[in-house]
Structure 1
C-alpha cells in the first residue's frame, strides 16, 4: 500500500464522515483538504471562491503538492481536486485513491449540500451537471471505487476489505 489514502468524490458523498471513521480504523492521521486550505490562507473556501474559481484552484494545487509529501495520512479532498491533472499527479504518487460514488438522488438528500460549497450554493440542481462533468475523472483516477448509497459504516467496511 502507498503511504497515504486519498478520498475523492462529489460534494456530499460522505468523504469527511467516511474519512474520519476510516482514519481511526487504520490508525492514520486525518486531514480534510478544505480545512487545510482554510488554515493556510486564513480564509473560508467561499471567500477564496469570491476571487474566482481559478484563484481557488491555484491554492488547492499548491496545497495538494504539500499534502502529497506527508505520510500516514487519510486525506479527504475537495470535490473538484480531479479537475487539474497536476493535483492528481502529485497525490497519486503517494496515495491509494478511493472514489466514493453516490447517486445524485442521494447527494441531493445530503444535509446542507449547498452550505460551504460555493459551486452548489445558488443552484442545487447544478449538481447534475457537476456529476456528469466529473464522473469520468473520478473513475479515471480511482484505484478503488465504492458506492455510498446506504449506511456510511458499510462503505468504511468495504474500503477496508478492498485495501487489504
Structure 2
C-alpha cells in the first residue's frame, strides 16, 4: 500500500470511526490524512449542521460532491462524510485512485456512538429516521466498498489492524 501513491477512502455511517481509525491507519502506513467534513466546512465557511439548518440537506450533499470532485491527492487516507456515497460521480472519482474501505457497524452502535444525531450535521430528509437512513445508506456503502471491515465488538486499534490486514490480502 505505501509503495504506491494510492489513497484509502473510508466510508460509513457517522460514528463508524472513519476519522479516528483513519488517523490510526495513516500513522501506521505512513500516509497523510484528509477529513472531507473539515474541507466542506472550510469551503462553506460554516459547520455541517449550519449548512443543513440554513440551506437543507441537499445543499450539504451538493457542497460535499463539489469538494470530493475537487480532491486531487495521492498517498492519503481520506475520511469521507457519511453521505459521500450519494454521489456516484464523486465515488467514481475517489475510487479511481483509491481503495474504498467501508467501516461497518450495526445501527445500535451508531446510535450509541453519536447520541443526538440532530446535532451532527447529518445529511438526511427532515422526516427520515436514523433507522431509515441507515438502511438506505447500507446498500450504497456495500455497492462502493472494495473492503468491508465489521467493527462490532472491536476497539479502534483492532479496527485499524483489521483494515491493514484486509489490505494485505
TM-score by length of 2: 0.88
Contact 1:101 1:145 in 2 (8 A): yes
C-alpha RMSD of matched pairs (Å) = 1.9
Within the candidate set 105, 109, 126, 1:106 is matched to 109
Stretches of structure 1 lacking an aligned partner (at least 5 in a row): none
Moved over 6 A (4+): none
The aligned residue for residue 116 of structure 1 is 120
Map 1:8-87 to 2 at 5 A: 8-49=11-52, 50-67=54-71, 69-87=72-90
TM-score by length of 1: 0.90
Contact 1:7 1:100 in 2 (8 A): yes
Structure 2: distance between partners of 1:79 and 1:111: 13
Q: Does the C-alpha gap of structure 1 residues 113 and 5 become closer, same or farther in structure 2, counting only changes over 3 Å? A: farther
Alpha-carbon displacement from aligned partner over 1:94-124 (angstroms, at most 9, x marks no partner): 110000000111111104452323447x89x
Structure 2: distance between partners of 1:58 and 1:103: 27
Structure 2: distance between partners of 1:113 and 1:128: 13
Contact 1:11 1:113 in 2 (8 A): no
Contact 1:32 1:77 in 2 (8 A): yes
1:153 correspondence with 2:157: yes
Structure 2: distance between partners of 1:135 and 1:153: 24
Alpha-carbon displacement from aligned partner over 1:16-41 (angstroms, at most 9, x marks no partner): 11111111111111111100111122
Stretches of structure 2 lacking an aligned partner (at least 5 in a row): none
Structure 1: distance between partners of 2:135 and 2:95: 23
Contact 1:12 1:113 in 2 (8 A): no
